[in-house]
Structure 1
Amino acid sequence: MARKIRDSTIFKACHWFVGTRSRRRALLRVAVVILIIPLVLQWLLAYVVGRDARLLPPELLQAKNVLIVTAHPDDECLFFSPTILGILDRNRAINGGLLVMSTGNNYGLGETRKQELKGSCSALRINPSRCEALDHPSLQDNPKVWWDTELIKSKVKEYVEKWEVDAIITFDEGGVSGHINHRAVSAAVSEYVVGDEKAPPAYKLVTTAVLRKYTFLFDLPLTALSFSWRIITAVFYPSEKASPEVSSKALIANTWHRYQRTRNAFASHDSQYSWDRHLYMILSRYVWFNDLKRIPAKGMAS
């Protein structure tokens, strides 16, 4: 009896929503708006205002050598591709570099994944000569081991000096997926930037809740809320300069062409391709847009 009453209540509620033509029209309008807003925002950020300094700080767009620091081969295209392509495509004078802290050898595929990484770098316009996957005994892919942050710091500093890096991009404290190796990389880079006055400006990729992570473009309006004034002013008053306060964060979206290149980059990681990754390359917000926050440097207000 209780089930019948419950089912009847649900039926009545559904009938109320769609029971009249006016309500159906109202629901249709709401659905159209929900679909259109993310698409318009993506188009606006990718094609119209993407170069504006209030959305893509000069510290990144005007750098000479940008270094992306990750934990495993394929992190660069699963998480960072909108940022990598958004920067390197908009300023072709920039040299991109990728430093991966391990070969991803958790299943004995380290050498294969190192080779696959080169193809991914080429698709992302990173010169293979600046596409490095380390194979240190203390930095092996392991979802249960927190890596030595002092060791990571020394490696990051080594490549910053070697490649004359003037901007760094890495994970935030959540590591996007929560992987312990990702979080160790984030901690190490943050410690390096905070503790070394000579460290270049560094930005971290913002981690979101799992439900938001797999919402295609539908998370973009929520993400863009904190950038709303920047987006509006960028439309009417474009600028290539920004104050330090404005340079504290970034919002970068993929064009359709860059999204296709993201897929091409991940296709290079043949050993990692599986049915769920097919879905990921469509549904994940991280292949469509990135929001970054600057890591406060030594002596810099947070």
Structure 2
Amino acid sequence: MIHRIPSYILKVLTTSFVAWIILSTAIPQIMSKYSEQEIQTNVYKKATYPYNSITSPTPLPIQNSTVYFIIGHPDDEVMFFSPSLVEIAKPKNGNDVKLVCFSTGDSVHESMGRIRSEELRQSARILGIDSDNVTILDTFKDGMNVTWDSNEIRDTLKDIVGVGKSQRPVVLITFDENGVSYHPNHISLYLGTVNFIKTYKNSDYKLFVLKSLTFWEKYSFTLLTNVELFVDHISRWIFNNIEIDINISFFTKSDIPNLSSIKFYSDLNMLSVSYAAMCYGHYSQMVWFRYGWLVLSRYLTFNHLIQLN
């Protein structure tokens, strides 16, 4: 009986992944042929083909903005933020996306810093971020036992982001107070970015943080996402055609989006880009346990950003 457990787990994961492909990719692509007038007529107004997007709320509230993803190490942009980063960077949203990495990832040895910095630029290109929009700092030491000074982070963001009214809305995105597995560098970025927002509150910047997932949710693969996608599809098909004032959907539509929370769900195309950015872009980090992360981590298919007031 015991020797059959790994086989059983493999079957569950395979079935879940196939179901996820159907729910996240196949069904939306099929439905777009009936909902997108440009696809129906083969007459296109823009230079880009209509993308499928699964976000809540819809449409995406972050548009035509300058967006700064504030990360601690090269590979954070893929391992934790890829669903939101890829979605926000889609041309249809009109955003200018920038990466600000506060270390070179030199915890093992300082010579690794140059390698990982170049890998971040390579990963950014795969994710659709121009190298000119990638800022890598070498003044903050990478380490699980290192806490970065909040005021230094605040002052650094002042130099990079600037202070005052901007021509475009400015959005800052970083980790939450738990920093994904309580990493001290990530938590420092949260505290430093909040410090920046509080100090220069008249600048009217928006701050979103990535909600840290519990252990079981973090390694739930596509299981939880499948439940949410299934409920959403069913609620749309059934209740959109019947005048019942009920909402059981995980993806709430609203004419005035609620900016307090945004959920991002990857499809197979977005996940493929994330895999390429991690496996090819961050090759030095692809030790054996990283492959387990790529298979099981929910962060590669789901992001929950929460706006802080």
TM over 0.5: yes
Query: 2:117 is matched with which residue?
Result: 114
Q: Which has the larger radius of gyration?
A: 1
Q: Which residue in the other structure is 2:194 paired with? A: 190
**Which residue identity does 1:251 align to in structure 2?**
K
1:125 aligns with 2:128: yes
Is 2:160 the counterpart of 1:159?
yes
Does the C-alpha gap of structure 1 residues 278 and 51 become closer, same or farther in structure 2, counting only changes over 3 Å?
closer
Aligned equivalents of 1:121, 1:185: Cα separation in 2: 20
2:128, 2:114 → 1: CA distance?
A: 22
Deviation at 1:64, TM superposition (A): 2.5
Q: What's the offset of the Cα at 1:154?
A: 1.4
Please, which moves more after superposition, 76-85 or 232-241? 232-241
User: Structure 2: how far apart are the matches of 1:63 and 1:34?
Assistant: 36
RMSD: 3.4
Number of aligned positions between the proteins: 259
Stretch of structure 1 that moved more, 118-127 or 91-100: 91-100
CA contact (8 A) 2:16 2:222 kept: no
- Alignment match, 1:281: 294
Alpha-carbon offset, residue 44 of structure 1: 9.1
Structure 2 match to 1:205: 210
Does residue 174 of the first structure (1) align with residue 178 of the second (2)? yes
Whole-angstrom distance in 2 between the partners of 1:250 and 1:57? 8
The Cα shift of 1:232 comes to: 5.0
**Residue in structure 2 matched with residue 252 of structure 1 by the alignment:** 264
Write the distance in 2 (CA, Å) between the matches of 1:233 and 1:199.
Answer: 36
Distance 1:90 1:176, change over 3 A: farther
CA contact (8 A) 2:104 2:137 kept: yes
Distance 1:132 1:46, change over 3 A: farther
Instruction: Give the partner amino acid of 1:288.
Output: T
Q: If the length of structure 2 is used for normalisation, what is the TM-score?
A: 0.72
2:144 counterpart residue number: 143
Instruction: Name the CA distance, whole Å, in 2 between partners of 1:270 and 1:129.
Output: 21
How far off is 1:57 after superposition? 4.2
Distance in 2, matches of 1:45 and 1:198, equals 42
Residues 71-114 of structure 1: CA distance to partner in whole angstroms, max 9, x if unpaired? 00100000100001111125363211000011011012111111
Structure 1 156/129 Cα, relative in aligned 2: closer, same or farther at 3 Å? same
Q: Aligned residues: percent identity?
A: 25
Return closer, same or farther for 1:83/1:261 CA change in 2, 3 Å cut-off.
Answer: same
Which residue does 1:14 correspond to in 2? none
List runs of 5+ in structure 2 lacking aligned partners.
1-12, 33-51, 242-251
- Aligned partner of residue 106 in structure 1, secondary structure: coil
- Report what 1:220 is aligned to: 225
Work out whether residues 58 and 254 of structure 2, in 8 Å CA contact, stay in contact via their aligned partners in 1: no
Which runs of 5 or more structure 1 residues have no equivalent in the other structure? 1-30, 297-302
Contact 2:55 2:262 in 1 (8 A): no
- Deviation of 1:37 after TM superposition, in Å, equals 7.4
Equivalent positions of 1:22-171 (< 5 A) are 42-43=24-25, 50=53, 54-55=57-58, 57-58=60-61, 60=62, 62-89=63-90, 91=92, 93-108=94-109, 109-136=112-139, 139-161=140-162, 166-171=170-175
The residue matched to 2:90 in structure 1 has which SS? Answer: helix
What is the TM-score with the length of structure 1 in the denominator? 0.74
* Distance of aligned partners of 1:153 and 1:257 in 2 relative to their CA distance in 1, 3 Å threshold: same
Aligned match of 1:12: none
